[in-house]
Amino acid sequence: MSQEFTIFPNEYLTQEIKSFYHADYVGYQRSGNPDYINTLKNTYDSYSKDVLEGACQELINVLIADLPIIIEELAVESITVCVVPRAKAENSYQPNQLLFKKVVQHVCNKLSINDGTDYIIRHANTITTHLPPYTPNYNNDGDAPYPKITINTCNISDDVRGKEILLIDDIYTNSINIDEDVIQALLDNGAKTVLFFAVAYTV
Give every residue of the chain whose pLDDT is below 50, as ranges: none
Q: How far apart are the first and last CA of the chain?
A: 17
The alpha carbon of residue 38 and the mean position of all alpha carbons in its chain are separated, in whole angstroms, by 13
pLDDT of residue 38: 95
CA dist., res. 16 & res. 36, Å (int): 29
Give, in order, the Cα–Cα distances in Å from 69 to each of 1, 22, 45, 98, 153: 9, 12, 34, 26, 33
* Beta pairing class for 193-202 and 164-172: parallel
User: Whats the size of the chain, residue-wise?
Assistant: 203
Q: Spell out the domain ranges in the chain.
A: 3-202
* Residue 149: partners with Cβ closer than 8 Å, 6 or more residues away: 126, 143, 178, 181
Q: Are 169 and 202 in contact (CB under 8 A)?
A: no
Q: Is the dihedral of CA 12, 149, 174, 82 positive or negative?
A: positive
Pairing relationship of beta strands 164-172 and 3-7 according to DSSP bridges:
unpaired
For residues 184 and 154, the answer to whether their CB atoms sit within 8 Å is no
Beta-carbon contacts of residue 35 (< 8 Å; ≥ 6 apart): 28, 29
What DSSP assignment string belongs to 158-193? GGGTT-EEEEEEEEE-TTT-HHHHHHHHHHHTT-SE
Confidence at residue 109, expressed as pLDDT on a 0 to 100 scale: 98
DSSP string computed for 118-167: TSEEE-S-B--TTS-SSBTTB---SBPP-TTHHHHHEEE-GGGTT-EEEE
φ and ψ of 61, to 5 deg: -60, -40
pLDDT of residue 134: 66
d(CA 68, CA 113): 9
Query: In this prediction, what percent of the chain has a pLDDT beyond 70?
Result: 99
pLDDT for res 105: 98
pLDDT digits (tens, 9 = 90+) for 90-142: 999 999 999 999 999 999 999 999 999 999 999 999 998 877 766 777 788 88
Quick one: fold of 3-202?
A: Rossmann fold (3.40.50)
